[in-house]
Amino acid sequence: MIAALWVMIGIALFLGAVLGFSAIKFKVQGNPLVDKIDAVLPQTQCGQCGFPGCKPYATAIAAGEAEINQCPPGGEEGIHKLADLLGKEFVPFGEGAKPKAKSVAFIDESTCIGCTLCIQACPVDAILGAAKQMHTIIASECTGCELCIPPCPVDCITMLPIDEDITNWKWRYPVIAIQEAA
């Protein structure tokens, strides 16, 4: 009887020591999943997902507070990547979160007063200019996030859709309709 007690106490103490040691040794700093999700997001920091940037959105996804379909710049490809990473099913874009036709911002240079407000708003440094000088957009850098439009005091920025031509046309992603069995 007493031997049985000693044996069980011995096992419990040994396991406790091993687990306690490995809890310190294998301690997880923060949530490494957040970094992995953050690496998949496009880092435009555009805020179209409703969070103040890509990292907060990644944190919300990791905590299960946000769906994976709220990132228009990432496109459907981004949702697929997130779904693969998290082992979830693919979710199509919800209403209002659909990616718009690809477009670039355009500054009407005759109305621009050179206030630099849009330069500070641009997350990808695609606006060139200085105080009291008119600004212009570096079209190849612009991600079309529209963040520069609200700060402009004279409303001189418009979004121009990019027409497809031979230099930027690419194959569409295949869409396969799933048919309901009759």
Partner 1 sequence: MTEYLLIIVSTVFVNNIVMVKILGLCPFMGVSKKLEAAVGMGAATTFVLTLGSGASYLIEHYLLGPDLAYLTTLSFIVVIAGIVQFTEMVIQKTSPSLYQILGIYLPLITTNCAVLGIPLLNVQAKHDFMESLLFGFGGAMGFTLVMILFAGIRERLDGADVPGIFKGSAIAMITAGLMSLAFMGFSGLVK
Interface residue list for partner 1 (CB under 8 A)? 3-4, 7-8, 10-12, 15, 18-19, 22-23, 26-28, 31-33, 36, 85-87, 181
The residue among 36 and 55 lying less far from partner 1, judged by its C-beta, is 36
Q: How far apart are CA 182 and CA 179, in angstroms?
A: 9
The residue among 8 and 139 lying less far from partner 1, judged by its C-beta, is 8
Q: How far apart are CA 25 and CA 21, in angstroms?
A: 6
Q: Is 103 exposed, middle or buried (0-12, 13-18, 19+ CB in 10 A)?
A: middle
The residue among 7 and 101 lying less far from partner 1, judged by its C-beta, is 7
CB of 3 to partner 1, least distance (A): 6
CB of 77 to partner 1, least distance (A): 18
The residue among 13 and 160 lying less far from partner 1, judged by its C-beta, is 13
Whether 91 and 83 have beta carbons less than 8 Å apart is answered as: yes
Q: How far apart are CA 20 and CA 106, in angstroms?
A: 60
CB of 91 to partner 1, least distance (A): 16
CB of 25 to partner 1, least distance (A): 8
